[in-house]
Amino acid sequence: MKATVWPKAKAWDKTALNELNKLNYFNASWKECTPESAAEFSAIAYYYGEELQKALNVPVGIIMNAVGGSTTEAWIDRKSLEHHPVLVDVMDDWLTNDFVQPWCRERAKLNLKNTDNTLQGHPFQAAYLYETGIAPLAHFPIKGVCWYQGESNAHNVEFHEILFPQLVKSWRKVWGDNFPFYYVQLSSLNRPTWGHFRDSQRRLQAIIPNSGMVVSSDCGHPTDVHPKQKKPIGVRLANLSLANTYGIDIEYSGPIINNVILQGKKALLNYINADGLQAADGKDIKGFEVTGEDGVFYSAEAHVINETIELKSKKVDGDILHVRYGWQAYSKGNLVNELGLPASTFSTEY
């Protein structure tokens, strides 16, 4: 599915604006995968499909209707938003609403510069992409969903914690099916709250049934929201699907924090999927921080003891009270298992 207009930094003409109001936003057709068609497709989705096809030895069809920069609320049905005591607020005057990230509002205002229609549609607007890109697929059989968006909601972590589970419910209601919903944790990027947002995404797996997440922080870029390393993410998504949806015995996860034991001036971190815990670059393990009563986080020395990480820091005055990993917006955390799969951002504060 290809968008009729992309939300780039330009004003749209009246013809495009009229089509938007008719909900004619996506053009859809099946295409055979060729070098030419793949060049216009999602690279992550391409590598995902390639891995499935190789493992399953069957034709694989992928529907790609992502819209770069779009808000999560744009993909949720109107009724779910309007009848939710918190989410309903995102519907109110969205071009000035603080629930919407400032850059989204400013980009939309530029796109809509040539209209005076107060009801003008836009792909960043709540419910719009659901109505144009999800509802029309209602009776089309699908096996599951892969999601890699969220950057336009990263400024409001707590609000996204309500939005995202509602999005999954909204889509599953359309198909009447509790299909698997797999998503990509945001990568590393120098934007405020991204560490907190990544940890929130990790915790949402326990809230959303039949869901799973892959880590991409090791594939990030400090200034580019579209990092160039696409294949590892597509392969990780595919392995997650192959293991949990298709029942193939394949490792798909990096180290997962299981519990944290505080012992005065040191902390012991127990992981699962932890065979061969090590630094990805063969150097010291980076990315762990600890804090005491003053609430200030300091870098911690990390040492591997079997499947456990021991943390210490001479800078903490008193006992260690909290631990976090990969919390910097652009994380240099390098903890992986023997398969080279990365560990997720986490914090014991939440």
Number of domains in the chain: 2
Confidence of residue 27 (pLDDT cuts 50, 70, 90): confident
CA nearest neighbour of 44 among 299, 228, 276: 228
Mean pLDDT, to the nearest integer, of 204-233?
95
Q: Which domain holds residue 72?
A: 2-244
Cβ-proximal residues to 70 (8 Å cutoff; 6+ apart), any chain: 7, 123, 124, 129, 149, 152
348 belongs to a structural domain: no
Q: Which residue has the tokens 């989705």?
A: 45
Cβ-proximal residues to 106 (8 Å cutoff; 6+ apart), any chain: none
- pLDDT at site 306: 82
Answer with the one of 244, 278, 301 that is the final residue of a domain: 244
pLDDT greater than 90 at residue 307 = no
In this structure, the answer to whether residues 74 and 196 fall within a common structural domain is: yes
pLDDT greater than 70 at residue 282 = yes
- pLDDT at site 1: 66
In this structure, the answer to whether residues 14 and 125 fall within a common structural domain is: yes
With a pLDDT cut of 70, the percent of the chain lying above it is: 100
Mean pLDDT, to the nearest integer, of 12-27?
94
264 belongs to a structural domain: yes
In this structure, the answer to whether residues 240 and 267 fall within a common structural domain is: no
In this structure, the answer to whether residues 265 and 202 fall within a common structural domain is: no
Confidence of residue 85 (pLDDT cuts 50, 70, 90): very high
In this structure, the answer to whether residues 52 and 77 fall within a common structural domain is: yes
95 belongs to a structural domain: yes
Token pair in block for residue 233 = 């993410």
Residue 93: give its domain's CATH number: 3.40.50
In this structure, the answer to whether residues 267 and 197 fall within a common structural domain is: no
Mean pLDDT, to the nearest integer, of 135-154?
94
Q: What is the pTM of this model?
A: 0.95
How confident is the model over 325-340, as pLDDT tens digits?
999 999 999 999 999 9
Mean pLDDT, to the nearest integer, of 167-188?
97
Mean pLDDT, to the nearest integer, of 280-291?
96
